[in-house]
Amino acid sequence: MTETLLAEFAATWALVFAASVAVFLSLGLTLEAINRRHPERKIQQREASSDRISDMLASIRQLVVTCTCIALGITLQRAGWGVGPLEPTWWSVPLMAGLGIVLLDAWFYAVHRLLHTRPLYRFHKPHHLNVTPTVWSNDSGHAVDTAMTHSFYVLLPLLLPVPLLSIVLVRLFDQITAIIGHSGYEHFAGATMRWPWLGICTVYHDQHHSAFRYNYANFFSLWDRVFGTIHPDYDTEVTKWEGRFDATEAARRSPAK
Ligand SMILES: [Zn+2]
Ligand SMILES: [Zn+2]
């Protein structure tokens, strides 16, 4: 039994790790190419504080920890631990994925606030060495930081009846938005990314790296607004970016004669 469980864990881990590295590299390279074509969308004037390859390797190292959490949760659920998953259907998969995303946002906010306290900050400091983040720095950091944040993936399939496909969707959403959130270039500013909506764009987490004390949440601005930790200039910055996008679009539609 134990050997079967270990073999299943190892196979799941290998699959999840290969998929995570593939998403990391393919999306990172795609965003880099898009960013090169839009230098005017760079958020900070400062250059990245660490080099590309060391950031990439640091992130891949932390993906080992993340994938361990994900594979552990999936393996234990498949072995019959916890509440057991719902039958995957057209409603259960999106419902549980949506619930997982909302819960992960709350979990991330709480753990992230904890990581900013004096006793725990040493585990989070390596991630903050990147004051100007890039697509490659999204996962970089200390293993304890990653384990605290991503132990959510061990608990989720044990405490809630989440089908496997929903876990995959939550993780994909998490990884893709994290890479975009660290990309250093703004492409997604819009009305739904600022008050009174709760969406967030790249500026959000970028401000967390440049100002440290604001914008702790992961997917929505809800918890930062509730607890008063949203950057005071966030909504204004998003509006400014919208204005720049509108001006670029207007210039494109009516080029100077
Ligand atoms: Zn932080
Ligand atoms: Zn970050």
Quick one: DSSP state of residue 87? P
CA 84 to ligand 1 center in whole angstroms: 33
Residue 124 structure tokens: 């989070």
d(CA 58, CA 55): 5
235 contact partners, CB below 8 Å, separation of at least 6: 194, 195
Instruction: Give 196's Cβ-side CA count (13 Å radius).
Output: 0
Residue 246 has pLDDT above 70, yes or no: yes
Token pair 């994900």 is found at 70
d(CA 222, CA 199): 9
What pLDDT band is residue 112 in, cutting at 50, 70 and 90? very high
CA 77 to ligand 2 center in whole angstroms: 30
State the Cα angle at 35 between 34 and 37, rounded to 5°. Answer: 70
Quick one: DSSP state of residue 88? P
- pLDDT, tens digit, for every residue of 181-229? 999 999 999 999 999 999 999 999 999 999 999 999 999 999 999 999 9
E strands, 57-167, are none
- What mean pLDDT, rounded, does the chain reach? 94
CA 106 to ligand 1 center in whole angstroms: 15
d(CA 98, CA 172): 12
CA 99 to ligand 2 center in whole angstroms: 23
CA 203 to ligand 1 center in whole angstroms: 14
Is 232 exposed, middle or buried (CB count within 10 Å of its CB: 0-12, 13-18, 19+)?
exposed
CA 221 to ligand 1 center in whole angstroms: 15
What pLDDT band is residue 108 in, cutting at 50, 70 and 90? very high
Residue 130 structure tokens: 């990147």
Q: How far is CA 241 from CA 65, 222, 238, in A?
A: 36, 21, 5
Helix, strand or coil for residue 4? helix
CA 254 to ligand 1 center in whole angstroms: 43
Q: What string of DSSP letters covers 34-52?
A: HHHH-GGGBS-SSPPSS-H
Reference 223, options 131, 95, 121, 103; nearest CA is 103
Ranked by mean pLDDT, which of 53-67, 88-102, 116-130, 135-149 comes out on top? 88-102
Specify the pLDDT at position 248. Answer: 83
CA 81 to ligand 1 center in whole angstroms: 33
